[in-house]
Amino acid sequence: MKVLMFGWEFPPHIAGGLGTACYGLTRGLAKHGVEVKFVVPRAYGDEDQRFVRILDASDVDTLYGGNFSESFWEKLTFIHIDSNLVPYVSPEDFSTISVENRLTGENTWADVWKERYTFSGKYGANLMEEVARYAMVAAQVARDMEGQFDVIHAHDWLTYYAGIAAKMVSGKPLVVHMHATEFDRSGENVNPEVYQIERAGMHAADRVIAVSNLTRSIVVEKYGVPADRVVAVHNAVRFKTGEATEVERGVDDKIVTFLGRITFQKGPDYFVEAAAKVLKQVPNVRFVMAGSGDMMNHVVRRVAKLGIADRFHFTGFLRGEEVQRMFALSDVYIMPSVSEPFGISPLEAMKSNVPVIISKQSGVAEVLKFAVKVDYWDVDAMADAIYGLITYPALSRMFIAKGQEEVNNLKWDNAAAEVAEVYRSVM
Tell me, yes or no, whether 74 lies in a domain: yes
What ranges make up the beta strands (E) of 116-253? 151-155, 174-178, 207-210, 230-232
Neighbour tally for 195: CB within 10 Å: 17
CATH number of the domain enclosing 97: 3.40.50.2000
Let me know whether 375 and 393 are in one domain: yes
Tell me, yes or no, whether 248 lies in a domain: no
Let me know whether 228 and 377 are in one domain: no
End-to-end CA separation in angstroms for the chain: 10
What is the CA 294 to chain-centroid distance, rounded?
A: 17
Let me know whether 131 and 46 are in one domain: yes
Model confidence pLDDT, tens digit, residues 145-175:
989 999 999 999 989 999 998 998 899 999 9
Burial of 149-166, coded b for 16+ CB within 10 Å and e otherwise, reads bbbbbbbbbbbbbbbbbb
What is the DSSP-derived secondary structure letter of residue 51? S
Distance CA(10)–CA(7), nearest Å, equals 8
Task: Say what the pLDDT of residue 123 is.
Answer: 61
pTM of the model: 0.80
Distance CA(321)–CA(329), nearest Å, equals 12
Let me know whether 181 and 321 are in one domain: no
Tell me, yes or no, whether 241 lies in a domain: no
What pLDDT tens digit does each residue of the chain (427 aa) get? 999 999 988 888 777 678 888 999 999 999 999 999 999 888 888 888 899 999 888 888 665 444 444 444 444 444 443 333 333 333 333 333 333 333 334 444 444 444 455 666 666 556 777 888 888 888 889 988 989 999 999 999 989 999 998 998 899 999 999 998 998 888 778 888 889 999 999 999 999 999 999 999 999 999 999 999 999 999 888 766 555 567 777 788 999 999 988 998 899 999 999 999 999 999 999 999 999 988 999 999 999 999 999 999 999 988 778 988 999 999 999 999 998 888 888 998 998 999 999 999 999 999 999 999 999 999 999 999 999 999 999 999 999 999 988 888 888 999 999 999 999 999 9
Let me know whether 341 and 218 are in one domain: no
Domain count, the chain: 2
Sign of CA dihedral 270, 276, 282, 286: positive
Task: Say what the pLDDT of residue 152 is.
Answer: 98
Sign of CA dihedral 190, 81, 226, 230: negative
What is the DSSP-derived secondary structure letter of residue 243? P
Tell me, yes or no, whether 243 lies in a domain: no
Let me know whether 384 and 420 are in one domain: no
What is the DSSP annotation of 360-398?
TTBGGGGT-SSSEEE-TT-HHHHHHHHHHHHH-HHHHHH
Tell me, yes or no, whether 244 lies in a domain: no
ω into 12 cis (within 30 of 0): yes
Tell me, yes or no, whether 246 lies in a domain: no
Q: How many residues does the chain have?
A: 427
Tell me, yes or no, whether 249 lies in a domain: no
Distance CA(245)–CA(187), nearest Å, equals 37
Let me know whether 176 and 264 are in one domain: no
Cα 265-207-25 angle, rounded to 5 deg? 65
Q: What is the dihedral of CA 380, 323, 293, 283, to 10 degrees?
A: 40
Is 119 within 8 Å of 159 (Cβ atoms)? no
Let me know whether 232 and 260 are in one domain: no
Tell me, yes or no, whether 141 lies in a domain: yes
Distance CA(381)–CA(375), nearest Å, equals 8
Let me know whether 209 and 287 are in one domain: no
Q: Which domain holds residue 10?
A: 2-236+412-426
Let me know whether 226 and 323 are in one domain: no
Let me know whether 306 and 420 are in one domain: no
Let me know whether 26 and 158 are in one domain: yes
